[in-house]
Amino acid sequence: MTNVLVVYDRAAGRLLHEQEYEHRRDAFAARVRAEREFGRRANVEVVVLAAKSRDDLLRTHARYFLSLDDLAAPRSPSSPS
């Protein structure tokens, strides 16, 4: 299981900080510290995401890890119609 602390600026559409933790408690302790640092900024999200792998997080929470241009780019269909 991977636990990732993410600090994301919604207004800018960019990741400010990302840190992976093996243990959930360490990730949540880091979240508390990050909330103290970034908490006054209204457009900043501080979250901890957990999944079996980083690839899973990229699929389920792509907006945190991809640029706005990447998210807006047309995707090829996964299977032919």
Rounded to an integer, what distance in angstroms lies between the CA atom of residue 80 and that of residue 77?
7
CA 80 to chain centroid, in Å, comes to: 31
pLDDT at 54: 86
Q: Is the pLDDT of residue 81 over 70?
A: no
Strands (E), the chain: 2-9, 14-21, 44-51
- Reduced to 3 states, what is the DSSP secondary structure of residue 67? coil
pLDDT tens sequence across 12-64: 888 999 999 999 999 999 999 999 999 889 999 999 999 999 889 988 898 88
Place 79 in a pLDDT band, splitting at 50, 70 and 90: very low
Rounded to an integer, what distance in angstroms lies between the CA atom of residue 34 and that of residue 5?
9
pLDDT at 68: 65
- Quickly count: other Cβ atoms within 10 Å of residue 34's Cβ: 20
